[in-house]
């Protein structure tokens, strides 16, 4: 079974009032291929987010995958700074390489458009893989069962 | 050379905030960018990149909390 280490992505944040010297953010990001049941696929950036209840992506990605958005089941979801988002759900496959590929009932919401990346959350991703985060070593390790 | 996440700050330099960007990972270059993700994807495919990596340039680099 694969056990794969990925480096955290280091990003510089310019100085601002609370951080006059700026900040360095270390983010658990990966590149992913999303594949819809119709065979359409899309490459995107994903962020491993233990705080997300499920995997969720920008709504524009559902359109790019040629999913019939208006026919998908939908519900309301929330996040920091937003009371509710309409989120549409579809079965897709998410592949982040190195043998880490899994089916997910993923959400697609306009609220993620502004971020332009996906979140790998509890249902679908963390429910399937053990993940160890080491901020000190600046790596995260994904282990298949 | 395929695109790595660490390449993105360099690749995205000079591209306006809020733009969607399509990148050829094989060529490690930006194929298209603009305000409309579908249009950017279409343009990248027209230029020969069948499976571009797509992302959006952040409005500004800020600390994030989801």
pLDDT digits (tens, 9 = 90+) for B34-61: 999 999 999 999 999 999 999 999 887 7
pLDDT digits (tens, 9 = 90+) for B2-24: 778 888 888 999 999 999 999 99
Cα–Cα distance for residue pair A133/A72, rounded to 1 Å: 34
Out of A23, A43, A113, name the one closest to residue B52 (CB). Answer: A43
What pLDDT does A144 receive? 83
First CA to last CA across chain B, in angstroms? Answer: 32
B-interface mutation test, from A42, A55, A59, A60, most B Cβ less than 10 A away: A60
Out of A25, A41, A52, name the one closest to residue B66 (CB). Answer: A52
Residue ranges per domain, chain B? 5-56
- Domain total of chain A: 1
Digitized pLDDT (tens) for each residue of chain A, 145 residues in all: 679 999 999 988 889 999 999 999 999 999 999 999 999 999 999 999 999 999 999 999 999 999 999 999 999 988 877 778 899 999 999 999 999 999 999 999 999 999 999 999 999 999 999 999 999 999 999 998 7
Binary contact (B54, A42; C-beta < 8 A): yes
CATH number reported for the structural domain that contains residue A94 in this entry = 2.40.70.10
Q: In sequence order, what are the residues at sequence separation of 6 or more whose Cβ sits closer than 8 angstroms to the Cβ of residue B20? A: A60, A116, B33, B34, B35, B36, B37, B40, B54, B55, B56, B57
Q: Residue B1: pLDDT band by 50, 70, 90 thresholds?
A: low
Distance (Å) from the alpha carbon of B31 to chain A's nearest alpha carbon: 14
Could you list the residue range(s) of the whole structural domain that residue A83 is in?
3-143
């Amino acid at each position: 079974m694969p056990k794969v280490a990925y480096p955290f992505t280091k990003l510089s944040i310019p100085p601002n009032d609370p951080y006059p010297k700026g900040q360095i953010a270390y983010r658990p990001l990966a590149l992913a291929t999303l594949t819809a049941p119709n065979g359409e696929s899309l490459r995107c950036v994903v962020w491993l987010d233990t705080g997300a209840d499920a995997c969720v992506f920008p709504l524009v990605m559902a359109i790019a995958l040629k999913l019939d958005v208006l026919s998908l089941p939908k519900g309301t979801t929330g996040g920091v700074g937003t009371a509710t988002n309409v989120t549409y759900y579809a079965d897709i496959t998410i592949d982040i390489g190195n043998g880490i590929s899994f089916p997910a009932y993923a959400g697609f919401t306009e609220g993620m458009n502004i971020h332009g990346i996906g979140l790998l959350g509890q249902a679908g991703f963390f429910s399937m893989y053990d993940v160890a985060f080491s901020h000190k070593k600046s790596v995260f390790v994904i282990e298949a069962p | 050379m395929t695109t790595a996440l660490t390449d993105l700050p360099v690749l995205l330099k000079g591209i306006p905030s809020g733009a969607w960007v399509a990148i050829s990972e094989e060529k490690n270059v930006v194929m298209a960018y603009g305000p409309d993700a579908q249009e950017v994807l279409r343009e990248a495919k027209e230029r020969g990149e069948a499976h571009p990596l797509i992302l959006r340039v952040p409005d500004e680099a800020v600390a994030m909390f989801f």
